[in-house]
């Protein structure tokens, strides 16, 4: 019922279709015109080429469109004829002359240095622009790059490769047509291929995959399918329908959602769809194949996971010899905590084992002291300067007591103190004006918030009135435009903001219920996921709103950071930018347990692994095996970040390259 827009891609086609057990194949011919009316007419008289880019691009490539040719100049000239027919040649030629005059790069000459392949590919399951790349192959990369020098405005070394900044972000479109338009201002050279990306980080990820031999050609699923298409062609189009099923669904839903029946499980088994075109005299030979991999079941996934886990185990064993710090009696079920040691000018590591024994360990892994207490530490520990003499102590609470321990493991100033109420939640420590006039907040099991001085005595100036709405997390202090706010969070819109004295400062009227903890963005907005799978945002002026976010569910994990949101669903983490348009997706080895941020890193834990992201790229050497308890800081003040990780009762210290 809706007319299709003509794309001038190809002429008529006639094919014979055959259906096999796991394959639908259409073979036939289509027209090719010497007069050049369609894009495929550019391929006339070009020899078919082996599309070898599959030996370089990542195995998670979801989309590839490549052309093979042996005469780049002829292709270039025919492309210009199409531009003339479309009345676009003058604009193109004006841009070409501008590049030649200002950068001394002549595309009419540069095209002669290219031969073999050009194309575009994407490694995202949702076709993120940040994970889309364009490429072409050179006869000699040294000669080709020397002719491009006038366009190169910057250069960065990365892992034996150079990542260059380019003055013309659409050079591939200028050379081969608008199908290769990608707005990619950065490029690197891998073998004979010039590969262009939208960000430096995206190209770094591409290099990492290539060096690790995680290529499309090495993928078992792609190898299974490659038997069904020719090794050489003039045009090769490939997608993995199962991998991009969600993106296909979203595109189709816009126009056809009323009649759409979408079986995700079935589509996941379609692992390849390809179109090949090869010149045969005055015709193009077509081959269209759709592959259904019925063996793509749990066993196959477990096999791949086992291989990856073995690789991880080998890397882990090598790292562990260097990183192991300390074996603590019995297991540890808490994050490593830190307290400043004014004597050594370093941070001590504080942990508690499952027998409730506390250990303090220095940066060399040596035990400084140990202390047996009556029960488990709740939440996190805090460092305070009790005597205001720049000597810090460790503050924490159990279910019934508040502790303050000095650097030698001794109780300070008649501590421990009995709490005014038993609690199931860790304390919060506030120092409003950085004057060391501390306030300690305790959420009692009686649903009251107690405000204590550092001596442990109750602050009678605290005017908080408890309600029946259950408080679910420690209070959080934050400042917006020089105003203080204290987040008092429940699992619904009874969540409110308090003033310093405990009175209500902001209430939210809109009725909502939340399925996760309430968090605060860097801009002072609070947010949570509602029971309707929407994102709720509250502001300090009392207003609030909810809106739908792609792939947000009641089981999702979410973190606001880096001007966007990181959303965890099952085995994937997706980053949405502040316009909720472009995104980056990371695939994990198991379902996400938690997403946090610390020291400019994004930390993601699964049941067995810890992933670390920086600049939207997985940090080299990760994931590592973990029990789920870790912390990040510079423990010995050498300017390098350490990650302290708990596994099997051992504490491991990894030093990161910042």
**Per residue in 332-372, pLDDT tens?**
889 999 998 888 889 999 999 989 999 999 888 888 999 99
Sheet containing strand 367-372, strands side by side: 337-341, 346-352, 357-361, 367-372
pLDDT in tens, 67-99: 999 999 999 999 999 899 888 899 999 999 999
Token couple for 140? 């000699």
**Distances in whole angstroms, Cα of residue 528 to Cα of each of 380, 550, 594:** 22, 15, 14
Pairing of strands 609-614, 617-618: antiparallel
Peptide bond preceding 623 in cis form (omega within 30 of 0): yes
Contacts of 109-113 with C-beta under 8 Å, sequence gap 24+, read: 109/147, 110/144, 110/147, 110/148, 110/175, 111/72, 111/73, 111/76, 111/175, 112/72, 112/73, 113/138, 113/139, 113/140, 113/143, 113/144, 113/147
Residue in 540, 575, 570, 576 with CA at minimum distance from that of residue 553: 570
DSSP 255: H
Beta strand 476-480 with 49-50 is: unpaired
State residue 347's pLDDT score: 92
**Nearest-5° angle of CA 371, CA 375, CA 381?**
70
Per the structure block, which two tokens stand in for 288?
A: 């269209």
Are the C-beta atoms of residues 409 and 368 closer than 8 Å to each other? yes
Choose among 333, 331, 347, 330: nearest CA to 629.
333
- By the 8 A CB rule, do 529 and 516 touch? yes
User: Mean pLDDT in each 10-residue stretch from start to end of the chain (658 residues)?
Assistant: 64 86 86 86 92 93 94 94 89 93 93 95 82 94 93 90 93 92 92 93 89 86 76 91 74 58 72 90 87 59 44 47 56 90 89 92 88 95 94 96 95 94 97 95 96 95 93 96 95 92 93 92 95 94 90 93 91 79 80 91 93 90 91 89 88 82
CA 202 to each of CA 123, 131, 198, 429, 618: distance values in angstroms, whole numbers, following the listed order? 10, 6, 7, 40, 11
Task: Enter the tokens of residue 610.
Answer: 């810890």
| Dihedral angle, C-alpha 292, 293, 295, 301, nearest 10 ° | -130
DSSP reduced 3-state for 89 = helix
pLDDT computed for residue 649 by the predictor: 78
74-84 burial, b at 16+ Cβ within 10 Å, e below that, comes to ebbebbbebbe
Phi, psi angle pair for 391, to nearest 5°? -115, 120
Tokens standing for 374?
Answer: 């009556």
558: enclosing H helix or E strand: strand 557-561
Burial class from Cβ neighbours inside 10 Å (0-12, 13-18, 19+) for residue 109 reads exposed
Q: What is the pTM of this model?
A: 0.54
Rounded Cα gap, residues 47 and 71, in angstroms: 8
Residue with the two structure tokens 């009323």? 258
Per-residue CA distances from 318 to 42, 311, 322, 629 (Å): 53, 11, 7, 21
CA 53, chain centre distance (Å)? 25
Question: Of 623, 593, 597, 627, which is closest to residue 611 (Cα–Cα)?
Answer: 623
d(CA 55, CA 330): 48
3-state secondary structure of 535: strand
Question: Dihedral of CA 444/449/454/455: which sign?
Answer: negative
| Cα–Cα dist 107/293, whole Å | 44
Which of 416, 534, 418, 540 has its CA nearest to residue 476?
540
Q: What SS3 class is residue 285? A: strand
**For residue 487, what are the β-bridge partners?**
476, 497
Instruction: Give me 579's structure tokens.
Output: 């316009």
Strand arrangement of the beta sheet that strand 519-520 belongs to: 519-520, 526-529, 535-538, 544-547
Tell me: cis bond preceding 416? Omega within 30 of 0 counts.
Answer: yes
Which of 499, 438, 442 lies closest to 473 in space, CA to CA? 442
Instruction: Specify whether the CB–CB gap between 64 and 245 falls below 8 A.
Output: no
Q: Extract long-range pairs of 13-21: CB within 8 Å, 24+ residues apart.
A: 13/286, 15/286, 15/288, 21/294
Q: Cα–Cα distance between 225 and 220 in angstroms, integer?
A: 9
| Buried/exposed code over 331-356 (b: 16+ C-beta within 10 A; e: otherwise) | ebebbbbbbbbeeeebbbbbbbbeee
CA distance 518 to 576: 19
Dist CA 67 CA 78 (whole Å): 14
Tell me the two tokens of residue 406.
């000095």
For 369, other C-beta atoms within 10 Å of its C-beta total 16
CA distance 526 to 518: 7
Can you give the pLDDT at residue 252? 63
N-term to C-term CA, the chain: 56
């Amino acid at each position: 019922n809706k007319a299709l827009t003509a794309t001038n891609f190809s002429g008529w086609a006639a094919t014979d279709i055959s259906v096999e057990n796991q394959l639908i194949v259409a073979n036939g011919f289509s027209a090719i015109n010497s007069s050049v009316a369609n894009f495929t007419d550019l391929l006339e008289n070009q020899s078919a080429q082996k599309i070898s880019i599959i030996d370089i691009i990542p195995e998670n490539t979801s989309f590839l469109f490549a052309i093979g040719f042996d005469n780049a100049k002829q292709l270039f000239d025919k492309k210009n004829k199409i531009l003339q027919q479309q009345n676009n040649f003058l604009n193109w030629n004006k841009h070409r002359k501008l590049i030649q005059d200002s950068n001394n790069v002549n595309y009419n000459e540069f095209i002669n240095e290219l031969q073999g392949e050009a194309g575009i590919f994407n490694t995202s399951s949702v076709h993120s622009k940040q994970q889309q790349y364009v490429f072409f192959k050179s006869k000699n990369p040294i000669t080709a790059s020397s002719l491009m020098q006038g366009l190169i405005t910057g250069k960065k070394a990365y892992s034996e490769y150079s990542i260059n900044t380019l003055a013309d972000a659409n050079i591939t479109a200028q050379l081969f047509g608008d199908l290769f338009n990608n707005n990619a201002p950065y490029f690197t050279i891998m073998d004979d291929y010039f590969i262009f990306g939208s960000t430096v980080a995206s190209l770094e990820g591409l290099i990492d995959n290539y060096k690790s031999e995680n290529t499309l050609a090495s993928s078992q699923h792609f190898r299974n399918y490659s038997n069904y298409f020719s090794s050489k062609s003039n045009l090769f189009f490939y997608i993995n329908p199962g991998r991009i099923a969600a993106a296909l669904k979203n595109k189709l839903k816009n126009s056809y959602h009323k009649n759409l029946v979408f079986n995700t499980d079935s589509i996941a088994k379609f692992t390849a769809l390809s179109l090949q075109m090869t010149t045969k005299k005055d015709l193009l030979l077509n081959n269209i194949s759709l592959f259904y991999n019925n063996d793509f079941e749990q066993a196959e996934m477990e096999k791949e996971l086992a291989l990856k886990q073995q690789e991880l185990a080998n890397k882990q064993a090598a790292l562990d010899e260097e990183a192991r710090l300390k074996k603590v009696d019995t297991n540890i079920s808490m994050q490593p905590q830190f307290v400043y040691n004014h004597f050594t000018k370093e941070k001590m590591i504080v942990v508690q084992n499952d027998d409730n024994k506390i250990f303090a360990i220095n940066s060399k892994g040596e035990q400084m002291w140990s202390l047996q207490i009556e029960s488990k530490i709740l939440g996190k520990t805090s460092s305070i300067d009790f005597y205001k003499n720049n000597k810090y102590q460790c503050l924490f609470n159990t279910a019934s007591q508040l502790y303050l321990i000095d650097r030698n493991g001794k109780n300070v100033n008649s501590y421990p103190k009995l709490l005014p109420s038993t609690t199931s939640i860790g304390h919060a420590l506030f120092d409003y004006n950085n004057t060391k006039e501390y306030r300690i907040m305790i959420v009692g099991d009686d649903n009251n918030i107690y405000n204590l001085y550092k001596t442990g005595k109750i602050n009678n100036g605290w005017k908080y009135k408890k309600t029946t709405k259950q408080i679910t997390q420690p209070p959080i202090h934050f400042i917006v435009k020089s105003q203080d706010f204290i987040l008092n969070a429940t699992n619904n819109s009874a969540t409110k903001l308090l003033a310093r004295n405990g009175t209500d400062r902001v209430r939210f009227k809109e009725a909502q219920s939340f399925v996760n903890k309430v968090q605060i963005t860097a801009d002072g907005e609070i947010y949570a996921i509602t029971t309707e799978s929407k994102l709720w945002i509250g502001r300090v002026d009392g207003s609030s709103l909810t809106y739908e976010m792609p792939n947000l569910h009641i089981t999702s994990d979410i973190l606001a950071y880096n001007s966007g949101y990181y959303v965890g669903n099952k085995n994937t983490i997706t980053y949405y930018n502040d316009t909720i348009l472009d995104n980056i997706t990371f695939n994990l080895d198991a379902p996400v347990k938690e997403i946090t941020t610390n020291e400019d890193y994004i930390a993601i834990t699964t049941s067995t692994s810890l992933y670390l992201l920086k600049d939207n790229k997985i940090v080299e050497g990760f994931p590592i095996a973990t029990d789920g308890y870790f912390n990040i800081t510079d423990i010995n003040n050498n300017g390098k970040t350490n990650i302290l990780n708990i596994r099997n009762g051992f504490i491991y210290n990894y030093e990161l390259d910042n």
